[in-house]
Amino acid sequence: MRRRAIAAAGAAVLATVLLASLAYPLAAPSARNNARFVATSPTLDGLAFLDIGAVYSSVDQTTTLGDDLPLIEFLRNAIEGTPTIVEAVGPLYSWSSRMSIHTGLPAVLGWDWHQIQQRTDFRADIEKRRSEVADFYRNSNTEEQSRFLRTYDVSYVVVGTQEWVYGDPDALESLRFHPALFEVFRDGKYAIYEVDKPILG
């Protein structure tokens, strides 16, 4: 009798835990869908949400996510191989890393928290990269820009929505005049520059 009672109690606890574990997968997707995907019809196109004027708000600025779509499409269609790109890094769960996510191209730094969680021994290196990416988009000094590009073997520099959110306007404009950067794509104030590595040295 006692064994049955213990087994019944154990089964009740296990059932409660299992039911509780279902709360997240049942409740969370609708919140995420309502934030970005509610206006799309069912589709296998992972970029469809960009066409509906979805927005992302950060640091007192609102970004229309679709503004980055032309840059993403250029990188997907015009770039061969897997050259390294650089794009701005913002706070966790933001629109950061959107170029590398949607193109598969490696970035100087992607979702840094994911790396810190799984590679704790490299936390200092990851945080250094975060700081240097931020400095790159805020510093208009050509020598410092060149040092960064050489250090991380960057082939393409992205200047899209998040770079304008987190970067310095003077630094972003200075990229147009960097002797080793050549504009390969422009859409309004957004651009992609290719690094001429022989000139960079």
Kindly report the CATH number assigned to the domain that includes residue 168: 3.40.50
- Answer whether residue 28 is part of any domain: no
- Answer whether residue 4 is part of any domain: no
Alpha-carbon gap, residue 86 to 15, rounded angstroms: 48
| Domain tally, the chain | 1
- Close Cβ partners of 105 (under 8 Å, ≥ 6 residues apart): 75, 79, 82, 83, 84, 85, 99, 156
Q: What is the pLDDT along the chain (201 residues), one digit of tens a residue?
A: 778 878 778 888 888 888 888 777 777 777 766 665 556 778 888 888 777 767 766 667 778 888 999 999 999 999 999 999 999 998 887 788 899 999 999 999 988 887 788 888 889 999 999 999 999 999 999 999 999 999 999 999 999 999 999 999 999 999 999 999 999 999 999 999 999 999 998
Inter-axis angle of helices 142-151 and 123-136, nearest 10: 140
- Answer whether residue 29 is part of any domain: no
- Answer whether residue 69 is part of any domain: yes
| Structural domain of 149 | 65-200
Residue type, 34: N
- Answer whether residue 2 is part of any domain: no
- Answer whether residue 190 is part of any domain: yes
- Answer whether residue 42 is part of any domain: no
Residue 8 tokens, joined = 């019944």
- Answer whether residue 12 is part of any domain: no
This prediction's pTM? 0.81
